[in-house]
Structure 1
């Protein structure tokens, strides 16, 4: 059986692209040759099965009053059980948790991630092996968003909170014995349209890093 790798995330895992010049199509989504989970699949080869589980707007544990089904905690169990046995769960969330309507500071966002990862660790999906999770901290939202129409959906403190998230997530990963990666420290950049979604280049950078890292984790 192939090694099963689940990529659980938000729009930056789904591949949302607000810049048609960057994604090269009118569908506002990067194609399969660009999205980082599919880049990871191509680089790892046929011994691995990489599963894309990204959804725009997804949070760790916070229900969104405007759109149903966005809290990852509610989707986690059926997702993991659907793809068992799971060899590696990659989680990249946190950007949407900074939205003003959730009222969560960086500490609380970290607690949400801790709850999510604990739930994953205690889900019977690991094929008799120890839980194996890689937590990826997303890049910080760019300050230019503060004068962009997108700020209306995020709130004025989203940049401040997102800058604090990587350090908080690293603490969570250490506490729970999970692997950790800071996408911002890799040089992954958000675009210059809405300032909170990965560019095509950033998808490639992340995929390349994971191609080298994942075999040592599974």
Structure 2
């Protein structure tokens, strides 16, 4: 299906992880080997209704010269890389703060995104600021204050769970929910591994940019491509 520009309230964006090397060998030649965005109005990624897809190129950073928050992403409307939708490039990245430019297919600036990395020892949550060209500013913070309070309250239990990981235990999950707000109105929410558009948005590229940048930043739970 062709790339859809509008984002109606209720749209859900899911990220499909790239297949592993062994799985990729069993798939037809030419199968897209990178992350895929899938979106529609279904409540889950397994919805049987028609869905749109976007294909993500994720360039790995040079660890010798580039900060850990450096990113370069390209979203294509087709797996043949003929219909470029947008590019996300790094304007600056150092000391826990990174600034990204979101560019349209003709190189026009769609938005400028600032991410400030959180620090659990300073009780600072990861935050996002999206400055839309000619439009509003979106702001977000990782998790809820109540969720972080409970996380620290039960931190001794989490410490025990970490020790048990080699024996088959699971890593204790930090608060992950992230909500982007505009003028007091919630626009996009990340929860349970998917993104939901809660307010009509005229340009789907911006909601996709938010999802791509948010997802590609690794956590202790891992990310879509980086070691």
Of structures 1 and 2, the one scoring higher in RCO (CA 8 A, sep 6+) is: 1
Same topology, TM > 0.5: no
Larger fraction in strand: 2
| TM-score, structure 1 as length reference | 0.31
Larger fraction in helix: 1
| TM-score, structure 2 as length reference | 0.30
